[in-house]
Amino acid sequence: MSNSVLMQEITWPEFETKTKARAPFFLPVGATEQHGPHLPLGTDVFLPTHMAKEVAKRIGGVVAPTIPYGYKSQPRSGGGQAFPGTTSLAANTLTLVVCDVLHDLALHGVRRFVVVNGHVENAWPIIEGIDLALREMRRDGIADAEILRLEYWDFIKPETLDRLFPEGYPGIDLEHAALIETSLMLLIRPDLVDVPKTPTHGHAEFSAYDRYPVRPGLVPATGVLARATGASAEKGEWLATDHIEGITAAIRKEFDL
């Protein structure tokens, strides 16, 4: 009997036991996207997967394999598609992938789902995927499925943000590859953080609208949209504690665990 919370590491009888116990199944949805010269392309995969695993350990859940590609990177929240290595899906493709995974898990007995988003641009394609999956489930006679969708960064406590940003929080869009993500990566995968290459420039300056095609020079050349200096594993621990405790509490409340 495996003690792993990862779906790919358990057997089918163990999977079936979990579904009969109505265990929550987590589906992290990430991205393969540039995160500056100091963080790996898989940052948006590592972070939601870590949060899902830690919460699953606390509530007896299972973490399905993370979807590693997300919706197209946007200049004002992710730097954009022009950076080498950023490999994305069309919105409709991501929607259908989310739908198919949730629907297939439901056909195998899963009834409680937690979709954990790790990439700002994924939000609406995920919502559409959930909506379509529920329609598919109802068509197949599955009427008791429950799905929670969340962005892990929404669980940062105000007092933690005050500690991290005494001069004011720039917002999650500008935090791409900046203090929050760098601190979390220093906590969970320090081997993948090239600290000496951390950019030292300040916040990017954007208009309140988008223009197509994107003007050259709109995004900082580093791909980092806000201050990344000052990141540390200690700050990552503050953040991870908020994320894990907040998500755990929400799931316990919604699923009566």
Amino acid at residue number 147: I
Question: Which of the following is catalytic: 50, 103, 176, 243?
Answer: 176
The conformation of residue 213, written as its DSSP 8-state character, comes to S
**Is residue 176 among the annotated active site residues?**
yes
d(CA 142, CA 127) in angstroms, rounded, equals 19
Torsion sign, CA atoms 87, 92, 98, 104: negative
Q: For residue 39, give both structure tokens.
A: 């963080």
Instruction: Give dist(CA 119, CA 31) in Å, integer.
Output: 6
DSSP code per residue over 36-80: TTTB-TTHHHHHHHHHHHHHHHHHT-EEPPPB---BPP-HHHH--
For the question of residue 44 being annotated catalytic, the response is yes
State the Cα–Cα distance between residues 39 and 196, nearest whole angstrom. Answer: 11
Looking at 38, 50, 119, 243, which residue is catalytic? 119
Among 38, 44, 54, 151, the one annotated catalytic: 44
3-state secondary structure of 200: coil
Catalytically annotated residue among 54, 121, 175, 242: 121
Single-letter amino acid, residue 152? Y
Distance of alpha carbon 28 from alpha carbon 53, whole angstroms: 10
Q: Residue 239's closest CA among 188, 171, 194, 176?
A: 188
> Is 119 assigned a catalytic role?
yes
Selected catalytic residue, list 54, 175, 181, 242: 181
How far apart (Å, rounded) are the C-alpha atoms in residues 240 and 186? 11
Catalytic residue numbers, as ranges: 33, 35, 44, 119, 121, 176, 181
